[in-house]
């Protein structure tokens, strides 16, 4: 089976080539092109806090990691030329207000990717990376913004059949007021870790016009996160012969947090057979047995890949999904069909009025 990392053009499973699909011309831009588009250049810098990244050496840095390290303090912008940037990146809490911009305006052109899994041994022999350590990008800073960038983890089960820790995170987001516009998140298990810095930290995150794909729990964590006009795509699995292949959402909302995940005006499609995916299951981690996972999916189209009869599952005995804060409202599509009301909790019109971006994000209004 072709490996995604070979050219960043394929994922395991039929139809997954739609995911990255960046032409070679984008990965290696022409020598005389304008790599930074309308965002200036080192010779026409927008301001002193703007840095330029280009793999062919036409910017201030040739890789994202070194540019992040150079962006000390607050309020920097990294304009990233088309290319594939391999290597784990951490944006620490001290770098608040950092913005990443894919210069072409097409997220398929600008890819930040690495290939660690939870079970990958660390080079120093001190153990394995674990789920959090597997992240290609970790964002701890507040007021982080990304536009038109792809975040990916191209670790594959098929290349590592002996692994038990198959979680492979594309990005872990922990900072408050984190916003993603027109971005793509590619992986398999645990693709997008929408989390917070601490149990008592209710980090707010906003995802607009984004694309997320994976198979097991590929949007998970304890953040207060709004997914607005996003596209979620479930992938075919060659290592399983029967359903379910996995779950789209696995929130672990803290019990004290009144707001978890809100999905609205979005759609879920699939490359897998019909009804091979569940919509969600609650994650109550051992580090927080008081978690009370929350997910609301409203005004969205659920494709045939979602099991409409039993769309929810339970991850851990003692924490059934029925005891959690799961609800839907005015969804459409074959995956949204209600055959047993007990299996699909629905909001009332009155309840739905508080399940809005403003109701979840409070006094924070992300820019469009």
Which of 190, 195, 228, 307 does the annotation list as catalytic? 190
Q: Write the burial class of residue 25 (CB in 10 Å: 0-12 exposed, 13-18 middle, 19+ buried).
A: exposed
Q: Is 54 a catalytic residue?
A: no
Nearby residues of 221 by Cβ (< 8 Å), 6 or more positions away: 172, 173, 193, 194, 195, 196, 251, 252
Token output for 36: 């930074």
Alpha-carbon distances, residue 5 vs 152, 158, 327, 346 (angstroms): 10, 12, 37, 41
Element (H, E) at 138: strand 137-139
Name the DSSP letter for residue 179: E
State the Cα–Cα distance between residues 23 and 64, nearest whole angstrom: 21
217 among known catalytic residues: yes
Q: Which two tokens stand for residue 337?
A: 């069909």
Q: How far is CA 309 from CA 24, 136, 193, 261, 336, in A?
A: 43, 35, 27, 22, 9
Report whether 159 contacts 184 (CB < 8 A). Answer: no
Looking at residue 272, the DSSP 8-state letter turns out to be S
Query: Please, is 42 exposed, middle or buried when counting C-beta atoms within 10 Å of its C-beta (0-12, 13-18, 19+)?
Result: middle
Strands (E), 163-230: 171-173, 178-181, 184-186, 192-194, 204-208, 211-214, 216-221, 224-228
Cα–Cα distance list, 356 to 83, 98, 144, 182, 228 (Å): 36, 26, 22, 20, 10
Q: Which of 60, 63, 148, 217 is catalytic?
A: 217
Note whether 182 and 210 are within 8 A (CB): yes
The residues annotated with a catalytic role in the active site are 190, 217
């Amino acid at each position: 089976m072709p490996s995604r990392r070979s050219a960043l053009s394929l994922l395991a499973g039929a139809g997954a080539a739609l995911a990255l699909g960046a032409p070679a011309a984008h990965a290696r831009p022409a020598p005389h092109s304008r790599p930074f588009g309308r965002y200036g250049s080192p010779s026409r810098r927008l301001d002193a806090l703007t840095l330029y990244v280009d793999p062919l050496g036409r910017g201030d840095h040739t890789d994202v990691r070194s540019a992040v390290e150079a962006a000390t303090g607050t309020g920097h912008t990294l304009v990233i030329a088309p290319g594939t940037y391999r290597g784990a990146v951490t944006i620490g809490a001290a770098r608040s207000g950092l913005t990443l911009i894919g210069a072409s305006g097409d997220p398929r052109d600008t890819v930040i990717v690495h290939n660690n899994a939870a079970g990958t041994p660390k080079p120093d022999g001190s153990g394995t990376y674990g789920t959090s350590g597997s992240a290609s990008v970790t964002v701890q800073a507040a007021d982080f913004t990304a536009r038109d960038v792809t975040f990916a983890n191209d670790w594959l089960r098929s290349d590592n059949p002996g692994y038990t820790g198959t979680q492979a995170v594309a990005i872990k987001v922990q900072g408050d007021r984190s916003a993603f516009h027109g971005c793509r998140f590619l992986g398999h298990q645990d693709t997008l870790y929408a989390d917070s810095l601490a149990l008592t930290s209710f980090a707010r995150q906003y995802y607009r016009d984004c694309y997320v794909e994976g198979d097991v729990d590929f949007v998970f964590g304890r953040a207060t996160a709004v997914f607005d006009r996003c596209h979620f795509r479930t992938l075919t699995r060659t290592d399983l012969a029967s359903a379910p292949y996995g779950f789209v959402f696995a929130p672990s909302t803290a019990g004290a947090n009144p707001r978890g995940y809100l999905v609205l005006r979005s759609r879920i499609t699939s490359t897998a057979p019909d009804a091979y995916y569940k919509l969600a299951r609650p994650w109550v981690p051992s580090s927080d047995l008081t978690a009370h996972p929350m997910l609301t999916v409203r005004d969205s189209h659920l494709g045939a890949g979602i099991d409409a009869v039993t769309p929810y599952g339970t991850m851990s005995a003692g924490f059934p999904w029925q005891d959690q804060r799961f609800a839907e409202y005015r969804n459409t599509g074959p995956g949204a069909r209600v055959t047993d009301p007990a299996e699909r909790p629905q909001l009332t019109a009155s309840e739905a009025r508080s399940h809005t971006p403003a109701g979840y994000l409070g006094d924070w209004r992300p820019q469009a």
